[in-house]
Amino acid sequence: MALIAEFLRAHHEGDKATMKEVAAVLSHFKGYSKCIDTFIDQSQMGAFLRKDMFSDIVPLCERSDQLIAQVFTSPEQVMGKFVSNIYNGKLQEYIQSTLSDRNNDPEKYLKSLHELYSKTLQLSNDLAKFKMGNDPAFLKKLTRQIFSKHLDPYLSIETHYLKDKFTAVLNRYYDSKNHHKRQFQFGGIHDLRRDLQAKLGARSSCV
């Protein structure tokens, strides 16, 4: 579409006036959504260069929020979509990649999950200053979406990990004391009756 191409060119050249003009025309047509998507994609291109992408998100949103306010007729809607795209796109990919080692190293997984979740909560607090619509729980919902597959089984994973950790510590303690735990075997009432009959039979034969 020619107008989208014109908007893209203006964005590359930093021509805010043309961007605003094209966006205003497209706001009356279906192409407006495509215009917003193009802006979001171009704004994020090459934006996440650090190993810890959390450091890049707030500065990117601050720059983009200023430009969005100057270009679009519905800045809150665009900013909400911009942030949602970050959470459900690059941020979610980063989190899933970091937490991919759940089965091989539970301790590392739990530590990473706690760190990433804490950073995301802090990120949401930092982004709360931007106007992104009327839903006060918007950022909270985004956080829940990207962590749902990890938070739901969290208690089970942590309980299993702590149980294994406790067993390992207990075994090391016994080893340091050169102590061997006794293994007890418990039979049912049938075994008890059999043992008693054997003892009584042995006594009767001695009389």
Closest CA to 8 of 56, 71, 73, 62: 71
For 85-130, what is each residue's pLDDT tens digit? 999 999 999 999 998 876 677 888 888 999 999 999 999 999 999 9
**Residue 61 counted as domain residue:** no
Ranges 131-135, 149-153, 164-168, 182-186: which has the least confidence: 182-186
- Tell me the angle at which helices 31-44 and 75-86 cross, rounded to the nearest 10 degrees: 50
> What mean pLDDT comes out for the span 69-74?
95
Q: Taking the model in full, what pTM does it have? A: 0.75
**Residue 19 counted as domain residue:** no
How much of the chain exceeds pLDDT 70, in percent? 75
**Residue 4 counted as domain residue:** no
- Cβ(90)–Cβ(48) below 8 Å: yes
Q: Where in the sequence is the domain holding 156, given as residue range(s)?
A: 74-206
- As a whole number of angstroms, the distance between CA 17 and CA 73 comes to 13
pLDDT in the model for residue 184: 46
Handedness of CA 65, 70, 71, 75 (dihedral sign): positive
**Residue 182 counted as domain residue:** yes
Q: Which residue has the higher pLDDT, 197 or 67?
A: 67
Q: Is 36 exposed, middle or buried (0-12, 13-18, 19+ CB in 10 A)?
A: buried
Confidence of residue 30 (pLDDT cuts 50, 70, 90): confident
**Residue 27 counted as domain residue:** no
> What mean pLDDT comes out for the span 183-206?
55
pLDDT in the model for residue 155: 61
Angle at 109 between CA 104 and CA 113, to 5 degrees: 160
Counting the structural domains of the chain, the total is 1
**Residue 168 counted as domain residue:** yes
**Residue 155 counted as domain residue:** yes
- As a whole number of angstroms, the distance between CA 40 and CA 138 comes to 18
- As a whole number of angstroms, the distance between CA 181 and CA 192 comes to 24
**Residue 36 counted as domain residue:** no
